[in-house]
């Protein structure tokens, strides 16, 4: 039996960051990860680091995380190739342009300064766009990073800070208290953090609080290296396509959904959404038409019907805190999620408002449409 | 019943032939403009060398295969110049001349063939360096020698065959490095119907070639002007060259089997992950059959037998009753060939130690320009993690070329068995496509 102050379930961005922040403050932490750290959503995502376009409830979280992204090297020894290249969100018509304006106004109340680019400005600055693009909103401090590097770097630093991170340890049984079984070993701690991504739903269910989480599999594509043309991270209103060009010239983009079997777990991209994403990309950037696709992929994130995570204390069990269901945009949030969890555990409170993420909301709003198409990806 | 055969090399032709004989009309897909496969690749239109000049001792088999190919095309849904880039249960995605199509399948025989297997060495990505297979195809199909002072490095029959073919056209190689030690080759002789050591030595002698056995290339100098190499006693040499061809056997093209969800197992002898299959060629997923070098390297004779056998398995599985004698004889022949093949693998093993020990500065992954040092520094616990950390295998070739040597480098760096570092996971598209 291994005893600890805190048990963390799941070694994605959220879990690894929690382990790091807790260990830095002297807590005795054990993290249990089924596979390798960062092998699920946190390691295979698009790498978008944006506050742009987020739900109002998520903006304080995103702002908190964005501050951590600037100090990533300090936090975990690498910047994970974070590049604050700006996130430019495009409107393909007047309705979408109005949507951008509305969001910018709302975000300004939180202190985020997005700037509008009108038809002429966008044409002048980005001559590669087609006429379909009528306007854009630029949040210059947003950007992108390399998802393949972040979770393992957080994990390395967490270990250096004294946390125990055990890979190939799948949690197979949990008893109140909490006694947890993984790979034939037993662990005990008074605090349990549920950072199990999509699979966090199953853990919540064991504690009598089921949530309507579904496996979200954003379909991703990458082209061969192309002549450099685009420095910004690009998105569109509605989120049906998003892309960025990395320094090597490859254009990485996504749109639509792949398929998965979370029980194994395994996921695979599908051709139809790949064609559709390509068509949408070409619609805004015509010269992508002949680009060769060298690889497609997807992953499994926890998707919630309202596209907001479950973040905060359990309603049924004291000592249990949930942090999962990031609905396709939790890579950017990971660093802050860990910081917030460490505050909830060690201080009993945090500055970031969490009401909107309460797990109890599903019991209250049973009528919520399970319309997953609203989900904003990136 | 929708039966698809992918590939029109020796395995594909014989598979289709047997299906057609049973009254089926398969969809037959070939990536190249025409069939024949690599071994019996036809010259481009306008070149007129005869079968004997092109295929040497095998010209009879080449002729027969080409005849079968021509006869079968009209009896099938023949689709040359067509790439299968994705395969899922029940359907597959193809592209031909920019046009995409989705096809359904109930049974599919994958006869996807093989590609050259290389060991990266410093300088290997320069113009002037090519693979043995590519050098042979240039010679075979267009009568082109890759240089005036050619060095050939590799192992196995193809190495000497190419040396001999180059000599014949008046461009004898200045250097032939066979990585297998003489003693290794000799030890394998009892398993072979012929004595490769003696045969090869005889062949080399007749061609007036001096072959260095137990010798490996170390570095191609700047501009491909010289090759540094090491002989069997450990002495280093420098030979001036203007072209280098390298190849250590072949590697099955298993990406479609991977996408089909076939289970793979590590083959110790070939030091490769290969799709599992039963003696008839059935993969671990229902409806998927494997034949020829795309399943496991066996050469063209085995490929022809295995193609027929896989077609028979399809027929058996859809309730036909082929003559049991036919299957018995085929199974026997395949078992005999398999024993021979294993001996040949032992005689000319992949020089994994050379791969594992490649100098730090070697470009391990040429698509992404990643060095061996970067892979070593990743100290990843398995190869996909190594890929994630370094980008090895993320470029155009998707690890088809660099995957196996990368696994050797990583296994050595972290001190574990090669099988434990696993294999790169495949994804669609199997080759770059425009969507
Ligand atoms: C293809 C794709 C593209 C995306 N693009 C972006 C983007 O551009 N920007 C952005 O901000 N977000 C993006 N996201 C979303 C983002 O990746 C996720 O929201 C985020 O990584 C979730 O982190 P996590 O730690 O909650 O989950 P995960 O990274 O999935 O981690 C959960 C971990 O828990 C482990 N686990 C589960 N059950 C158990 C158990 N019983 N025992 C032990 N361990 C267990 C899993 O193995 C896993 O490692 C994308 C997601 C995907 C899939």
Q: Indicate whether A357 and A232 sit together in one domain.
A: no
- Which residues neighbour B253 within 8 Å (Cβ) at sequence distance 6 or greater? B112, B113, B114, B115, B294, B400
**pLDDT tens by residue, A180-209:** 999 999 999 999 999 999 999 999 999 999
Q: Is residue B198 part of a domain?
A: yes
Q: Indicate whether B29 and B106 sit together in one domain.
A: yes
Q: Indicate whether A291 and A222 sit together in one domain.
A: yes
Under the banding of pLDDT at 50, 70 and 90, the label for residue A51 is very high
Distances (CA, A) of A253 to A55, A235, A284, A294, A332: 22, 10, 13, 12, 17
Q: Indicate whether B15 and B89 sit together in one domain.
A: yes
- Cβ pair A275:B102 closer than 8 A: no
B323 CB neighbour count, 10 Å cutoff: 9
A238 burial (CB, 10 Å; 0-12 / 13-18 / 19+) is middle
- Secondary structure letter of residue B239 according to DSSP: E
Distances (CA, A) of B105 to A234, B29, B46, B275: 39, 12, 36, 20
Strand partners for B277: B283
Q: Quote the domain boundaries for residue A11.
A: 2-47+147-214+304-374
pLDDT attached to residue A30 = 98
Q: Is residue B204 part of a domain?
A: yes
Q: Do β-strands B243-248 and B150-155 pair in parallel, antiparallel, or remain unpaired? A: parallel
Q: Is residue A82 part of a domain?
A: no
Q: Indicate whether B135 and B240 sit together in one domain.
A: yes
> A152: which chain B residues are within 8 Å (Cβ-Cβ)?
389
Radius of gyration from C-alpha coordinates of chain A: 20
Mutate to test the pocket of ligand 1, among A218, A222, A328 (most ligand atoms within 8 A of CB): A328
**pLDDT tens by residue, A299-342:** 999 999 999 999 999 999 999 999 999 999 999 999 999 999 99
Q: Indicate whether B38 and B15 sit together in one domain.
A: yes
Q: Indicate whether B224 and B126 sit together in one domain.
A: yes
Contact criterion met (CB below 8 Å) for B427 and A297: yes
Q: Indicate whether B210 and B255 sit together in one domain.
A: no
Element (H or E) spanning B308, and its range?
helix B299-317
Q: Is residue A336 part of a domain?
A: yes
**Cis status, amide bond into A93, omega within 30 of 0:** no
Q: Indicate whether A264 and A329 sit together in one domain.
A: no
Map residue B334 onto helix, strand or coil: helix
Q: Reply yes or no on whether the pLDDT at A376 is more than 70.
A: no
Separation of alpha carbons B279 and B283, rounded Å: 10
Query: For residue A222, which phi and psi values (nearest 5 degrees)?
Result: -135, 140
- Cβ pair B368:A152 closer than 8 A: no
> A36: which chain B residues are within 8 Å (Cβ-Cβ)?
381-382, 385
For atom 26 of ligand 1, the residue with the nearest CA is A197
Last residue of a domain, one of B262, B293, B319: B319
The CATH number assigned to the domain holding A98 equals 3.30.9.10
pLDDT attached to residue B343 = 86
pLDDT attached to residue A377 = 44
The shortest CB-CB distance from B428 to any of A278, A292, A296 is to A296
DSSP assignment string, B402-413: THHHHHHHHHHH
Q: Indicate whether A259 and A163 sit together in one domain.
A: no
pTM of this prediction?
Answer: 0.93
Interface of B with A in 27-86 (CB under 8 A): 86
* Ligand 1 atom nearest to A332, measured from its CA: 11
- Cβ pair B86:A297 closer than 8 A: no
Map residue B302 onto helix, strand or coil: helix
Q: Is residue A182 part of a domain?
A: yes
Q: Indicate whether A109 and A231 sit together in one domain.
A: yes
pLDDT attached to residue B194 = 60
**Encoding tokens for residue B193?**
């119907």
**Encoding tokens for residue B8?**
């029109």
The CATH number assigned to the domain holding B219 equals 3.50.50.60
Last residue of a domain, one of A297, A316, A343: A297
Q: Indicate whether A288 and A230 sit together in one domain.
A: yes
Planar angle of CA B49, B52, B57, nearest 5 degrees: 145
Q: Is residue A62 part of a domain?
A: no
Q: Indicate whether B108 and B124 sit together in one domain.
A: no
Q: Indicate whether B25 and B109 sit together in one domain.
A: yes
Q: Is residue B432 part of a domain?
A: no
Q: Is residue A266 part of a domain?
A: yes
Q: Is residue B348 part of a domain?
A: no
Q: Please measure the distance between the N-terminal and C-terminal CA atoms of chain A and give it in whole angstroms.
A: 41
For the question of an ipTM over 0.95, the answer is: no
Q: Indicate whether A114 and A153 sit together in one domain.
A: no
Distances (CA, A) of B87 to A31, A270, B110, B259: 38, 10, 11, 6
Under the banding of pLDDT at 50, 70 and 90, the label for residue A367 is very low
> B98: which chain A residues are within 8 Å (Cβ-Cβ)?
none
pLDDT attached to residue A294 = 96
**Encoding tokens for residue B37?**
């496969």
Q: Is residue B376 part of a domain?
A: yes
DSSP assignment string, B48-93: ---HHHHHGGGHHHHHHHHHHHHHHGGGTEEE-SEEEEEEETTEEE
Q: Indicate whether B8 and B103 sit together in one domain.
A: yes
Q: Do β-strands A191-194 and A320-324 pair in parallel, antiparallel, or remain unpaired? A: parallel
pLDDT attached to residue B427 = 93
Q: Indicate whether A164 and A210 sit together in one domain.
A: yes
- Cβ pair A290:B434 closer than 8 A: yes
Q: How far is the CA of B290 from the centre of ligand 1 (A)?
A: 36
Interface of B with A in 108-167 (CB under 8 A): none
Q: Indicate whether A282 and A252 sit together in one domain.
A: yes
Q: Indicate whether B129 and B242 sit together in one domain.
A: yes
Q: Indicate whether A310 and A369 sit together in one domain.
A: yes
CA distance B76 to chain A (A): 27
pLDDT attached to residue A372 = 43
Contact criterion met (CB below 8 Å) for B113 and B119: no
pLDDT attached to residue A371 = 46
The shortest CB-CB distance from A224 to any of B388, B389, B396 is to B396
Q: Is residue B25 part of a domain?
A: yes
Last residue of a domain, one of B192, B222, B248: B248
Distances (CA, A) of B172 to A308, B163, B168, B244: 70, 7, 7, 13
The shortest CB-CB distance from B435 to any of A268, A293, A295 is to A293
Q: Is A299 in the pocket of ligand 1 (CB under 6 A)?
A: yes
Q: Is residue A243 part of a domain?
A: yes
**Domains identified in chain A, total number:** 2
The shortest CB-CB distance from B432 to any of A167, A271, A294 is to A294
Last residue of a domain, one of B207, B222, B248: B248
Q: Is residue A188 part of a domain?
A: yes
Closest CA to A11 of A146, A120, A167: A167
Q: How far is the CA of B301 from the centre of ligand 1 (A)?
A: 49
Q: Indicate whether B26 and B111 sit together in one domain.
A: yes
Q: Indicate whether A310 and A183 sit together in one domain.
A: yes
**Domains identified in chain B, total number:** 3
**Encoding tokens for residue A251?**
């254009």
pLDDT attached to residue B377 = 97
Q: Is residue B223 part of a domain?
A: yes
A334 CB neighbour count, 10 Å cutoff: 30
Q: Is residue A71 part of a domain?
A: no
Q: Quote the domain boundaries for residue B65.
A: 3-115+251-319
* Ligand 1 atom nearest to A329, measured from its CA: 12
The CATH number assigned to the domain holding A328 equals 3.50.50.60
pLDDT attached to residue B48 = 67
Closest CA to A286 of A73, A130, A124: A130
Closest CA to A199 of A302, A268, A45: A302
Q: Reply yes or no on whether the pLDDT at A21 is more than 90.
A: yes
Contact criterion met (CB below 8 Å) for A237 and A87: no
A→B interface, C-beta within 8 Å: 36, 39, 43, 148-149, 152, 167, 221, 224, 248, 268-269, 271, 274-275, 278, 289-297
Mean pLDDT for A224-238 is: 95
The CATH number assigned to the domain holding B409 equals 1.10.10
Last residue of a domain, one of A282, A297, A312: A297
Distances (CA, A) of A65 to A49, A68, A333, A336, B118: 9, 5, 6, 4, 46
pLDDT attached to residue B192 = 65
Q: Indicate whether B244 and B282 sit together in one domain.
A: no
A178 CB neighbour count, 10 Å cutoff: 19
Q: How far is the CA of A237 from the centre of ligand 1 (A)?
A: 24
Q: Indicate whether A263 and A318 sit together in one domain.
A: no
Q: Please state the length of chain A.
A: 378
Q: How far is the CA of B428 from the centre of ligand 1 (A)?
A: 22
Q: Is residue B326 part of a domain?
A: no
**Average pLDDT, consecutive stretches of 10 residues, N- to C-terminus, chain B (435 residues):** 95 98 97 85 71 73 91 98 96 96 97 95 96 90 88 92 88 94 78 62 70 95 97 96 96 96 95 96 97 92 96 96 92 90 89 96 95 96 94 92 96 96 94 94
- Which residues neighbour A265 within 8 Å (Cβ) at sequence distance 6 or greater? A40, A199, A300
Last residue of a domain, one of A297, A327, A362: A297
């Amino acid at each position: 039996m291994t005893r600890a102050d805190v048990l963390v379930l799941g070694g994605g961005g959220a879990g690894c960051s929690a382990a790091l922040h807790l260990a830095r403050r002297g807590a005795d932490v054990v993290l249990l990860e089924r596979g390798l750290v960062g092998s699920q959503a946190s390691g295979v995502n698009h790498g978008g680091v944006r506050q742009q376009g987020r739900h109002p409830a998520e903006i304080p979280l995103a702002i908190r995380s964005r501050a951590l992204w600037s100090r990533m090297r300090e936090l975990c020894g690498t910047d994970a190739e974070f590049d604050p290249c700006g996130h430019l969100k495009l409107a393909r018509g007047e309705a979408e342009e109005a949507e951008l304006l509305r969001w910018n106004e709302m975000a300004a109340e939180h202190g985020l300064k997005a700037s509008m680019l009108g038809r002429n400005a966008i044409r002048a600055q980005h001559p590669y766009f087609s006429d379909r693009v009528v306007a854009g909103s630029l949040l210059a401090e947003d950007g992108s990073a390399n998802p393949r590097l972040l979770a393992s770097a957080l994990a390395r630093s967490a270990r250096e800070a004294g946390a125990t991170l055990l890979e190939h340890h799948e949690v197979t049984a949990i008893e109140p208290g909490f006694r947890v079984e993984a790979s034939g070993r037993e662990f005990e701690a008074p605090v349990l953090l549920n950072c199990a991504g999509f699979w966090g739903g199953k853990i919540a269910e064991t504690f009598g609080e089921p949530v309507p989480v579904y496996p979200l599999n954003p379909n991703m594509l990458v082209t061969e290296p192309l002549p450099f043309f685009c420095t910004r991270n690009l998105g569109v209103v509605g989120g049906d396509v998003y892309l960025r060009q990395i320094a090597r010239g490859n254009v990485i983009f996504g749109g639509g959904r792949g398929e998965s079997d979370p029980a194994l777990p395994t996921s695979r991209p599908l051709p139809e959404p790949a064609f559709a994403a390509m068509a949408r990309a070409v619609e805004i950037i015509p010269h992508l038409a002949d680009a060769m696709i060298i690889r497609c992929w997807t992953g499994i994130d926890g998707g919630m019907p309202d596209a907001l995570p479950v973040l905060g204390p359990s309603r049924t069990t004291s000592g249990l805190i949930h942090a999962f269901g990031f609905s396709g945009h939790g890579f950017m949030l990971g660093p802050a999620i860990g910081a917030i969890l460490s505050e909830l555990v060690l201080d009993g409170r945090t500055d970031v408002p969490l009401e909107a993420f309460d797990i109890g909301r599903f019991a209250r709003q049973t009528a919520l449409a399970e319309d997953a198409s609203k989900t904003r990806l990136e | 019943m929708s039966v698809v055969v992918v590939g029109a090399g020796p395995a594909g032709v014989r598979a289709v032939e047997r299906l057609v004989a049973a009254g089926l009309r398969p969809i037959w897909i070939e990536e190249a403009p025409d069939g024949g496969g690599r071994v019996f690749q036809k010259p481009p239109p306008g070149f007129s060398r005869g079968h004997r000049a092109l295929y040497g001792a095998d010209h009879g088999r080449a002729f027969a295969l080409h005849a079968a190919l021509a006869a079968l095309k009209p009896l099938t849904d023949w689709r040359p110049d067509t790439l299968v880039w994705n395969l899922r249960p029940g359907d597959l995605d193809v592209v031909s001349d920019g046009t995409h199509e989705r096809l359904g399948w109930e049974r599919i025989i994958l006869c996807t063939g093989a590609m050259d297997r290389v060991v990266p060495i410093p300088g290997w990505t320069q113009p002037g360096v090519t693979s043995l297979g590519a050098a042979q195809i240039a010679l075979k199909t267009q009568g082109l020698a890759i240089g005036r002072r050619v060095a050939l490095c590799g192992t196995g029959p193809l190495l000497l065959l190419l040396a001999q073919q180059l000599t014949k056209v008046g461009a004898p190689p200045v250097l032939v490095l066979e990585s297998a030690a003489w003693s290794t080759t000799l030890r394998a002789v009892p398993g072979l119907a012929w004595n490769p050591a003696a045969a090869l030595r005889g062949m080399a002698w007749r061609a007036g070639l001096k072959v260095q056995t137990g010798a490996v290339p170390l570095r191609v100098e700047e501009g491909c002007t010289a090759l540094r190499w090491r002989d069997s006693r450990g002495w280093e040499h420098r030979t001036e060259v203007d072209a280098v061809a390298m190849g250590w056997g072949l590697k099955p093209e298993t990406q479609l089997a991977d996408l089909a969800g076939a289970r793979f197992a590590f083959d110790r002898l070939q030091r490769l992950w290969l799709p599992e299959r039963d003696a008839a060629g059935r993969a671990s997923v229902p409806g998927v059959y494997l034949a020829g070098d795309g399943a496991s390297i066996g050469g063209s004779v085995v490929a022809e037998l295995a193609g027929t056998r896989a077609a028979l398995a399809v027929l058996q599985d859809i309730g036909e009753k082929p003559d049991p004698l036919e299957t018995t004889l085929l199974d026997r022949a395949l078992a005999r060939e398999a024993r021979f093949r294993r001996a040949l693998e032992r005689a000319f093993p992949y020089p994994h130690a050379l791969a594992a020990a490649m100098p730090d500065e070697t470009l391990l992954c040429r698509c992404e320009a990643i060095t061996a040092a970067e892979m070593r520094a990743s100290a990843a616990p398995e190869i996909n993690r190594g890929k994630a950390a370094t980008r090895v295998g993320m470029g155009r070739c998707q690890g088809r070329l660099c995957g196996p040597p990368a696994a050797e480098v990583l296994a050595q760096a972290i001190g574990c068995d090669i099988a434990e570092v696993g294999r790169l996971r495949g994804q669609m598209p199997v080759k770059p496509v425009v969507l």
